[in-house]
Structure 1
Amino acid sequence: MNSGWVRTLYLHRQRLLLLTIVIITLLSLLGFQRFSFDNEARGLFRTNDETFEQLEEIFEQFRPDENDCLVILKRPGDTFFTPASIAQLQQLVSTLEEDELVSHVVSVFSPEMLVCDPLPRPLVPPADTSGVDWSNVEEEVLTHPISGGNLITADSKSMMMVIQLGNQDLLVSDYQPTVDHLQQVLRRWRADSGIEAYLTGLPPVRVEIFRSIKTDTFNLMLAGACVAVCIALLAFRHWALAFMAVAGAGIGSFWALGLLSLTGVKINLITTILPVLVVVIGLTDAVHLVFDIRESRVRGIKPERAAWLAVRRLGVACAFTSITTAIGFGSLSVSSIEVISQFGITCAVGTLITFLAVVVVVPWLASTGIVGGAYQGRVSRDSLCLKKFSVSYADFILKYRFVVLGLFAAFLIWMTLTTLQLHP
C-alpha cells in the first residue's frame, strides 16, 4: 500500500479516518436496531433437494408433527387407575386444552379412545362413574391397540399425553408463550396432585435452545473481548498498544454484526459463534500492525508516520490473509444445506468487514496523541527475549529449510492418507 492517496490518507487525513469510523459505527448502530434471531427451527435442517420439498408438502397436506409437546406422567403408588388419580388426570387434560394454541390433547381419556363390547363406550370412563371395576379398566387400556405401549407403558408405570399445538407450521416465537404456560400448569398440577409430570418434546427443547442462543451470543461476545484483552496485555505489556489491538478487533466484530443485521441477516444456532470468530480473525491482523507500530516507535518515529509505515509494510499481506480466509468461508455457500451456506456467507463478509475496521481503527488510534503518543518506545526485557528467540527460530528454519520442507511434506502425505479413511 504505497499509493499517494493512501499515504496522504494515513499521514495527513486522520479526520477523514475518524469520519469513516463514525459513519460506519452509526450504520452498525442502526443495524443493531434490526438485530434478531432466526427462530424457524426447521431452517437449521432446510436443504435445496427434493426430499425436503416432499417433507414440506406432507406437512402442508396434513399437520407438522414438530408442534407436538409430550407430557410424561409417573405412576403414583401402585396404579394410575383409582377414582382420585383418574379425576386429577382428567382435570389436567381439561386445563391443558384451555390454552388457545392447544388444538387437542391425545391421551387415554380422549373421546376417540373407545371400546366396543358391542356398543362403543369410552376407554376410560369419568372418575365419578359408579360401579366401575378400575382394575378391568387398566387391563383394557394396556391391551388397547392404540393406547397400549403408546400412551401407557406395558408395566403401567408411566403414561404419556400428546399436546398438539395448532395445525400449521409454527415459529419458536409462536409457541414459546404456550410452552411457558404449559410448564406453569404442570408445576401447579404436580404440586396439587402429587403425581410427577414433565413436559418434553420438540417445542420445549427448541424454546430452551433458542432462549440460550440469545444469552450465549452476548456471553460469547463478552468472553471473546476478555480473552482478547488478556492476550493483548500479555503480548504488549502496555495499555496503549493493547488498546489499539483490542479496539480494532472489537470494533470490527461490532461492525460485522451491525452491518449484517442492517441487511436483514439473522443470528441462528450456527452463526452464534460469528462475533468471537471475527474477533479472533481481526485480532491477528491487529497484532501484526501494532507490533510494527511498536518497532517504529522504538526507533523514534512519530506516531503518525509509525501508523502509516505499518499499513504500508503489512497492509497488503493482511489484506490477502483476510481475502483468503473469506474465500475459504465463502466456499461453504455452495452447500445444499441452507444454514451452512448462510454461515459461510456471513463469516466471509464478517471477515472482510473486520479487516476494514482493523486497517482503519488501529492506524487512527496509533496516530493520536492520547493512545499512540502514550507509548514512548520502551521495550520490556521479555519482549527483547521473545524477539531474540524469534530471530534464532527464523534462522534455524531458513538454514535447514529443505529438511523442514521434507518433514512437513511427509506429514502432509500421512495426514492426507488418514483423512481418506474417514467415514461420515
Structure 2
Amino acid sequence: MAKFLSKGFWESVASIILRNRPLIIILVLAFTVFLGFQWRHMRFTYTEANLLPDDHEVNLEYQNFKDKFGEEGNLIVLGIQDERLFTPEILTAWNELSAKIAQSDAVALSLSLKDLKILDKQEEPQRFDLVPFMTDSTLTTESAASYRKLLFDDLPFYENLIYNKETGTVRSAVYLKKDLINTPARRDFVVNDLIPAIADFEAAHDIKVRTSGMPYIRTLNAQNIIDEIGIFVGAALLVTSFIFFFFFRSYRATFISMVTVIIGVMWAFGFLGLLGYEITVLTAIIPPLIIVIGIPNCIFLINKYQQEYKNHGNQVKALQRVITKVGNATLMTNITTASGFGTFILTESSLLSEFGVVASINIIAIFLLCLLIIPILYSYMSPPKEKHLKHLGKNWIEGFVDWMERMVRNRRTTIYASSVLLLALSIIGIYQIRISGSLIEDMPKKAGFYKDIKFFEEEFDGIMPLEILIDTKKKQGVMKLSTLKRMEELSTTIEEQPELSAPISIVNLVKYAKQAYFNGNPKYYQLPTSNESNFILPYAKSFDNDENLMGAYVDSTGQYARITTFMKDVGTDKMERAEENIQLKIDKLFPEERYEVTMTGTALVFQKGTDYLVMNLVISLSLAILLIALFMAWMFKSLRMIIVSLIPNLLPLLVTAGMMGFIGIPIKPSTILVFSIAFGISVDDTIHFLAKYRQELKANKWKIKKSVYASLRETGVSMFYTSIVLFFGFSVFMISSFGGTVALGGLVSATLLFAMLANLLLLPSLLLSLESEIANKDVFKEPALQIVDREGDEDTAGTKTKNKQ
C-alpha cells in the first residue's frame, strides 16, 4: 500500500487528472446522472427502527407472534374530552366522522360509539347476539344522555378501551388492515383521509380531537424525517458556505466548493437508491453530513492552491502541487473518518450497518470529488487575483496560535492538571448515564402528535403495545376455565404496574359473557365459576362466528391466546422492572410443561434493541480505536507514538460521556453514534500534527522543542479552521425537532472542540515531556505518510511559518 501513497504515485495522479480534464468531467457528470436515476428507488421507512439482528431471539419471538395474530401495531385512536360530546349535534357529528373514516379501504374495523355492540342472550338456540349500542336514528337530548349513562355505568367491558370513567374521556378505535400497515397505503390513509376528516370536524364544532396510535405516529414521524432532510441540507450549505466565504473572501472559491459538495449530496441520495436502503432517522443525516465533512477537504485544497500560486505565480505548478502535497494527507484523514463510520458495518443491526455502509462510501466519494473537481475547475479559470489571496496574509489568528504556544511552553503543568480534573469529573458523570429504550423520547416535543401521545398516556396509560403470547400446547386449550383464571390473575398483575394499561384479552370477553347471561347486570362482570361455565360457555360458542371478537384474541385453533397491554413512555429501568414483575408472575402461574408464554411487542423489541446497541457500542468503538491505531502504527512505525496519539483523542470521548451523565442525555440509538463518529474525525488532527512533527524532527536534526513548536504553528491554524467548520456544521443538526438528532449534533460538536484543544495543547505537551522516550531515531522510524515535502513549506491554513524555540 505504501507505493500508492508515495510521492511518485501522487505525481502520477496529478498528471492523469490535469491531462484528462474533459474526460474526467464527463465521467463525473455521467456518474452523477446515473446516480440521479437511482433516486427513484429511494424509499422511506414505514416501520420502527428494528435495532436487533433478524435472527435474535427477541425478533424471532416477535415474528412468531405476528404469524399467529398479524401485525399488532395497527390501532389508531381518536379521543375527545369534552362534556358536549353527549349532546345530539356533537354525538351525531362524531358518529358521522367515524362512519366516514370506516369507509376507507385501509380500515379493517372501526370501533366508535355507533359501532359498539351489546351482548344479548338468546335462548333458542342458546347464543349471544350482538345488538347495536345505539339504536335511535335521530338523537335527542334525553337519548344522548341515556347512552352516556349506559356506557359509563353498565358496560365495564369497554372501560379503558372506549372510555375513562374518571375523566369522561371517550375514544374511538380504528384498526387498519394488517397487510397495509408497513406500506405507503398507510401514509395515504393518514395524510389524505384521516387528518382532513378530523380537521373538518374540529373546525365545524370547535372541539379538539386527540389522535394517536402507532400507525399514526409512524406516519407523521416519517414525514418529519422527510421534511427535515431538505432543511438540514439547506442549513448545512448555508452555514458552511458562510464560514468558507469568511475565511477566503472569494465568491469563486465559495461557488466551487458548493458545487462540489452539492454533487456529493446528489451522490449520497443516489447511493441510498442504488443500494436499496430505506431512509431512516439515521440515513437521513448522511447528505448534510457529507457537506460538513466535504468543506474541510475544500479548505485544504483551495488554500494550498492559492498559497502555492502566491509563492511562484505558476498556475499549472500550483495545481499539480495541490494534488501531490495535499492529496495524500486528505486521503488518509478521510479514510480514518470513514473508518469511524465503517465500524457500524460490523454490527449485526441492519439499521446501523446500512448507515455505516452509506456513510463510509460517501466520505470516500466526497474526497474523490474534491480531488477531481477543484483542480480541474481552477485550471479552466484565470489565475487568482490579488484580492483572492488577501486572506493568506491575515494574521488575526496569530493571537490564538501565540496563546497555544505559550501554554505548551510555560504551562504544561496546568494542561496536565486540567486534563486530570476533566478525566475525574468525566468518570463521575459516566456513572450517572442512563440508558433509554423509549420509542418516542426522540420524537418532536412540540409536534401535535407528541402532545396527543402524552394525553392518551394520561387517560389510558399508554399507546405502545406490549403483547403476551400464551401457547396452551393443545387445541381449544385457551377456553378452559383453568387457563382463563390464570390469564385473569396475570392480567391483574399487569394492571397493577403503573407503567402499563389495563390489559385486553379473551378474559374480558368471557367476563362480559357472564354479565350478558345475567341480563346485563354489571356486578356479574367476572369469570364464571366451574358450575356457571357449564351454562355460559355454550352461549359463548357463538363468538366463533365473529372473527373480530375471537380472532383478535384467540387463534383459529384455540391453542394460542394473546394478552394486549399498552405501555407509557418510561425509562428503561422502569420498563425492565415491570417486565421482571410480569415474568415472575408468568413463571408462577404457567407451568412450563403445560404452557409456553412469551412477552413481545413493539415496545419490548425496541427496548431490547437499545440494550443490544449499548453492548455493541463498546465493540464498535473498540474496533474504531484498534483500526485507527493500526493506521498510526503503519504511518509512524512507533508503538509509543500510538499510545501518545490516542490519549488526546480518547480524553474528549470521556469528557463527552461525562457531559451526557451530568446533563441527563441518555445512551440511546442516536447518541450511541457520537463516539465512533467523533473519534474518526478528531484523529485527523492528530495525523496532521504528528506527520508534520516527524518532518520537523528530520529537518531540525531531532531537536525536540523546536520541532514541536514549529509543528504547532504549522498545523494549529488549519486545525482551528477545520474544527470551526466541523463545529458549526454539526451544530446544524441541533435545529432538528428530533431530540436524538439534536443530541447527536451537539455532542459531536462539543467532542470535536475538545479534541482540537487536546491535539493542540495536550499532544504537544506530551511530546515535550516524553521527548527522551519517543523522539529518537530508533523509536520514531521513517513514517509511511508524508504530508508535504520541505519545498514551499507554508502553513496549510494560510499563515507563514513562525518557528520559535
Report TM bin, short chain: 0.7 to 0.9
| Matched residue, 1:226 | 238
On the 8 A contact 1:66/1:202 being kept in 2, the answer is: yes
**TM-aligned CA deviation for residue 168 of structure 1:** 2.7
From 49, 57, 61, the counterpart of 1:54: 61
Instruction: Report the AA paired with residue 125 of structure 1.
Output: M
Task: Please tell me the residue identity of whatever aligns with 1:163.
Answer: V
Are the counterparts in 2 of residues 142 and 149 from structure 1 also a CA contact under 8 Å? no
**Among residues 112, 126, 129, which one is paired with 2:135 in the alignment?**
126
Give 1:150's match in structure 2, choosing from 139, 146, 161. 161
CA distance in 1, matches of 2:111, 2:425: 54
AA in 2 matched with 1:71:
L
- Quote the offset at 1:326 in angstroms: 0.8
- 1:235-246 correspondence runs (5 A): 235-246=247-258
Which residue number in structure 1 is paired with residue 369 of structure 2?
357
- Report the CA distance between 1:343 and its aligned residue: 1.6
Hey, what's the Cα distance between the residues in 1 that align with 2:194 and 2:425? 52
2:41 paired with 1:30:
no
Structure 1 residue aligned with 2:97? 92
Q: Does 1:303 align with 2:307?
A: no
Distance 1:377 1:300 in 2: 17
Find the partner of 1:107 among 112, 115, 118: 112
Moved more, 203-212 or 275-284: 203-212
Percent pairwise identity:
17
CA 1:312–1:229 in structure 2 vs 1: closer, same or farther (change >3 Å)? same
Matched, 1:181 2:190: no
**SS of residue paired to 1:72:** strand
Q: Render the CA deviation track for 1:26-61: whole Å, top value 9, x for unaligned.
A: 333233343x23232234555432112211221232
Q: Aligned pairs, how many?
A: 419
1:76-91 equivalences under 5 Å are 76-77=83-84, 80=86, 85-91=90-96
| Other-structure match for 1:141 | 151
In 1, distance between residues paired with 2:256 and 2:44?
34
TM-score by length of structure 1 reads 0.85
Does structure 2 retain, via aligned residues, the 8 Å contact 1:115–1:123? no
Quick one: which of 421, 424, 441 aligns to 1:414?
424
Give the CA deviation at 1:165: 0.6
Structure 1 residues 85, 314: CA separation in 2 closer, same or farther (over 3 Å shift)? Answer: closer
Specify whether residues 242 and 418 from structure 1 end up closer, same or farther in structure 2 by C-alpha distance, changes over 3 A only: farther
State the one-letter code of the partner of 2:20. Answer: R
| CA deviation vs aligned residue, 1:68-98 (integer Å, no higher than 9, x gap) | 1111123343x62x55555444443333221
Determine if contact 2:108/2:175 at 8 Å carries over to the other structure.
yes
Per the alignment, residue 65 of structure 1 pairs with 72
> In structure 2, what is the Cα distance between the partners aligned to 1:150 and 1:313?
70
2:168 aligned with 1:163: no
1:5 equivalenced with 2:17 (yes/no): no
Per-residue CA deviations over 1:292-346 (Å, capped at 9, x if unaligned) read 1111121133222212212211211111111111111111223343322222221
Kindly tell me: are residues 51 and 15 of structure 1, through their superposed partners in 2, closer, same or farther at Cα, counting changes over 3 Å? Answer: same
Tell me the amino acid that sits aligned with residue 293 of structure 1: Y
Counterparts in 2 of 1:308 and 1:386: CA distance versus 1, 3 Å: farther
- For the residue of structure 2 that corresponds to 1:69, the secondary structure is strand
Cα deviations by residue, 1:191-238 (Å, 9 ceiling, x for unpaired): 556654343322222222222322221222122111121111100012
Say if 1:7 and 1:308, in contact at 8 Å, map to a contact too.
Answer: yes
Q: Offset at 1:175?
A: 1.3
Q: Structure 1 residues 195, 246: closer, same or farther in 2, change over 3 A?
A: closer
3-state SS in 2 of match to 1:163: strand
**Structure 1 residue 287 corresponds to structure 2 residue 292:** no
**Structure 2 CA distance for partners of 1:126 and 1:245, relative to 1, 3 Å:** same
Question: 1:62 Cα shift?
Answer: 0.8
Q: 1:324 aligns with which of 312, 327, 336?
A: 336
Return closer, same or farther for 1:45/1:67 CA change in 2, 3 Å cut-off: farther
Post-superposition shift, 1:163?
0.3
Whether the aligned pair in 2 keeps the contact of 1:278 and 1:351 (CA below 8 Å) is: yes
SS of aligned partner of 2:351: helix
Distance 1:85 1:242 in 2: 60
Q: For 2:408 and 2:19, how far apart are their aligned partners in 1?
A: 39
For 1:18, the aligned partner's letter is I
1:41 corresponds to which letter in structure 2? T
User: 1:332-351 to 2 correspondence within 5 Å?
Assistant: 332-351=344-363
Q: Quick one: structure 1 residues 309 and 391, their matched pair in 2 at CA, closer, same or farther if it must change by over 3 Å?
A: farther
Distance 1:252 1:191 in 2: 45
* 1:103 alignment partner, SS class: strand
Write the distance in 1 (CA, Å) between the matches of 2:329 and 2:429: 30
Corresponding residue number in structure 1 for 2:220: 208
Q: Contact conserved, 2:44 with 2:278, CA < 8 A, in 1? A: yes
In the TM superposition, what is the alpha-carbon distance from 1:100 to its structure 2 partner? 1.3
Give the SS at the match of 1:41.
coil
For 1:42, what is the secondary structure of its paired residue? coil
TM norm structure 2: 0.47
8 Å CA contact 1:297–1:376 kept in 2: the answer is no
| In 1: Cα distance, 2:317 partner to 2:63 partner | 61
Q: How far does residue 420 in structure 1 lie from its aligned partner after superposition?
A: 4.3
Provide the rounded CA distance (Å) in 2 between the counterparts of 1:268 and 1:225.
21
Q: After superposing the two structures, state which structure 1 stretch, 48-57 or 392-401, moved more.
A: 392-401
Which residue type is aligned with residue 66 of structure 1?
A: G
* 2-structure distance, mates of 1:128, 1:376: 86
Comparing 329-338 with 313-322, greater Cα deviation is found at: 329-338
Note if contact 2:117-2:130 (Cα within 8 Å) is conserved in structure 1.
no
Bigger mean CA deviation after superposition, 65-74 or 273-282 = 65-74
Distance 1:356 1:415 in 2: 42
**d(CA) in 1 for partners of 2:318, 2:290:** 26
Flag the 1:101–1:388 CA change in 2: closer, same or farther, 3 A: closer
1:70 aligned counterpart, secondary structure: strand
Cα pair distance change 1:19/1:287, threshold 3 Å: same
Q: Distance in 2 between matches of 1:359 and 1:408?
A: 40
Gaps of 5+ in 1: none
**Worse-matched range after superposition: 174-183 or 193-202:** 193-202
Say whether 1:42 aligns with 2:42. Answer: no
Gaps of 5+ in 2: 1-6, 436-805
My pick for the range that moved more, 325-334 or 382-391, is: 382-391
Query: What amino acid is the match of 1:114?
Result: L
| 275 and 294 in structure 1: CA distance in 2 versus 1, 3 angstrom threshold | same
CA distance in 2: counterparts of 1:230 and 1:24, whole angstroms: 29
Equivalent-residue separation in structure 1 for 2:94 and 2:398 (angstroms): 77
* Partners of 1:241 and 1:290 within 8 A in 2: yes
Distance 1:250 1:386, change over 3 A: farther
Maintained 8 Å contact 2:76/2:174: yes
Mapping for residues 260-279 of structure 1, pairs under 5 Å? 260-279=272-291
Residue 188 to residue 334, structure 1, CA distance change in 2 (3 Å): same
Shift of 1:104: 0.8
Q: Secondary structure at the match of 1:385?
A: coil
- Partners of 2:249 and 2:143 in 1: how far apart? 82
Confirm or deny: 8 A CA contact 2:110 2:172 kept in the other structure: yes
Shift of 1:160: 0.5
Task: Answer yes or no: is the 8 Å Cα contact 1:114–1:123 preserved in 2.
Answer: no
